[in-house]
Amino acid sequence: MSRMLRDVVLVDAVRTPFGRAGSALAETRADDLVVRIFREILRRNPQLPPERIDDIAVAAATQTGDQGMTLGRSAPLLAGIPRSVPGYSIDRMCAGAMTAVTTLSSGIMAGAYDVALAGGVESMSRHPMGQGMDPNPRFLAERLVDTDALIMGATAENLHDRFPQLTKQRADAYALGSQTKTAHAYAEGWIQPDLVPVAARSAEHGWGLLTADEAMRPETTLEGLASLKTPFRPHGRVTAGNSSGLTDGATAALLASEEMADELGLAKRMRMVSFAFAGVEPEVMGVGPVPSTQKALESAGLTIGDIDLFEINEAFAVQVLAFLDHFGIPDDDPRVNPMGGAIAVGHPLASSGIRLMGNLMRDFERTPSARYGLTTMCIGLGMGGTVIWENIGHTESAA
């Protein structure tokens, strides 16, 4: 018996504001952040009876403590989602939320699910990067990877080495652009509609309410960026200013088959076209989005010239520049991260893939002439992930 693949649509995406590690959300449990965004995404979509959700996947890069206990099951129970709805956890390091979306979407495409809920969370305050990690000694003893592969900043320095045209000056200029675009997006009110305010308690300061990304630095200047230290290498090129900050936060996305979205009266924001993951040398993991994008484009029957909008995770400025150079896109192309990116708002590891999708969702709304957009990111230990989306607003207006 043959089956037709079904179209998957993104119905909605929300996130918490991202707090600086050690600051506003430092004493807030990761699973409570997931509870907050799950409740909000259901509140925003009252047409969906929660019991109609077929499966839930939640990603975390460090799956222990409040990020353990199978978040895809435990957080929905805490959120009041019916017990009949199953769930599981995902780990693909930085691309956890992206993988939650693509894995659940595969089930929708195959007809196993009609509606699914994806999420990602990372408390880098409570779970610092690498905490509790125990790499197999064979990685280094047998030279399977270089020691740099386990230090993300070192992989970014290696990327500068491999592509000498990707200078620190270009990286700093790109970083300044991210801060400027994010400040503009906030001033225009583009980001706030999808932020879920979080009440946060501090033993020292009491209760507070986080309503905006905490790590933004709109006062950034090129002169200031040029003066920053290079912690990963003496006289290096990677600094805190041209890298994403350590942050805490959570994201969620509601997915459905197009038929079920129509049946329930759910919004259809964008349609998944294709997705791909690819591996690269772990020592230069930042180049991962190049082959994953090539694979996704080939699968979709598209070229880079067909893509109207790009949401690229800014783990490091050099990683974005490597992608842009490969595809012949100018550093300051307005199609790239129109609302800024992780250099300004932060990168809570496993949650960031859905932030990219939420940004693209809003990019499409403001640019109805755009038909295709992509979300892409590099992934620790040498990988890249890319999802290509179609703007349903464009296809409906064209019709």
Q: Per the structure block, which two tokens stand in for 82? A: 């019916």
Query: Is 319 strand, coil or helix?
Result: helix
Cα distance between residue 86 and residue 73, in whole Å: 6
Cα distance between residue 254 and residue 268, in whole Å: 10
Query: Residue 350, Cα to own-chain centre: how many angstroms?
Result: 7
> CA nearest 62: which of 131, 135, 147, 144?
131
Q: Is residue 273 a contact partner of residue 388, using CB atoms and an 8 Å limit?
A: yes
DSSP state of 185: H
State mean pLDDT over 129-138.
Answer: 83
Q: Say if residue 145's pLDDT is above 90.
A: no
What is the average pLDDT score of the chain? Answer: 95
Q: What pLDDT is stored for residue 252 in this prediction?
A: 98
The residue to which tokens 């320095």 are assigned: 157
Cα distance between residue 64 and residue 216, in whole Å: 29
Q: Catalytic one among 127, 160, 347, 394?
A: 347
Query: Residue 254, Cα to own-chain centre: how many angstroms?
Result: 15
Q: Say if residue 7's pLDDT is above 90.
A: yes
Cα distance between residue 170 and residue 226, in whole Å: 11
Q: What pLDDT is stored for residue 395 in this prediction?
A: 61
Cα distance between residue 148 and residue 381, in whole Å: 10
Q: Is 127 a catalytic residue?
A: no
Query: Is 209 strand, coil or helix?
Result: strand
Q: Is 326 a catalytic residue?
A: no
Q: Catalytic one among 94, 127, 160, 394?
A: 94
Q: Per the structure block, which two tokens stand in for 15? A: 């996130």
The residue to which tokens 């009876």 are assigned: 49
Cβ neighbors of 283 (< 8 A, separation 6 or more) are 145, 146, 148, 149, 155, 158, 382
Q: 68: how many CB neighbours lie within 10 A of its CB?
A: 15
Element (H, E) at 255: strand 247-257
Q: What is the pLDDT of residues 22-69, one digit of tens each?
A: 999 999 999 999 999 999 999 999 999 999 999 999 999 999 999 999
Query: How far is residue 116 from each of residues 47, 104, 122, 201, 217, measured CA to CA in Å?
Result: 14, 6, 21, 31, 36
Element (H, E) at 343: helix 342-345
Q: Is residue 90 a contact partner of residue 72, using CB atoms and an 8 Å limit?
A: yes
pLDDT range class, residue 343, cuts 50, 70, 90: very high
Query: Is 57 strand, coil or helix?
Result: strand
Q: Per the structure block, which two tokens stand in for 60? A: 């975390």
Cα distance between residue 295 and residue 289, in whole Å: 10
Cα distance between residue 119 and residue 387, in whole Å: 16
Q: How does DSSP assign 85-148, residue by residue?
A: S-EEEE-BTBTHHHHHHHHHHHHHHHTS-SEEEEEEEEETTTS-TTTT----THHHHTTSS-GG
Q: Say if residue 113's pLDDT is above 80.
A: yes
State mean pLDDT over 231-254.
Answer: 96
**b/e per residue, 157-175, with b = 16+ CB within 10 A?**
bbbbeebeebebebbbbbb
Cα distance between residue 120 and residue 99, in whole Å: 10
Angle at 35 between CA 32 and CA 37, to 5 degrees: 115
Q: What pLDDT is stored for residue 140 in this prediction?
A: 76
Query: Residue 39, Cα to own-chain centre: how many angstroms?
Result: 20
Q: Is 347 a catalytic residue?
A: yes
Least confidently predicted of 66-75, 139-148, 168-177, 273-282: 139-148
Q: What pLDDT is stored for residue 399 in this prediction?
A: 53
Least confidently predicted of 105-114, 136-145, 155-164, 181-190: 136-145
Q: What pLDDT is stored for residue 313 in this prediction?
A: 98
Query: Residue 105, Cα to own-chain centre: how many angstroms?
Result: 16
Q: What is the pLDDT of residues 363-388, one digit of tens each?
A: 999 999 999 999 999 999 999 999 99
Q: What pLDDT is stored for residue 397 in this prediction?
A: 60
Cβ neighbors of 86 (< 8 A, separation 6 or more) are 55, 56, 73
Q: 82: how many CB neighbours lie within 10 A of its CB?
A: 12
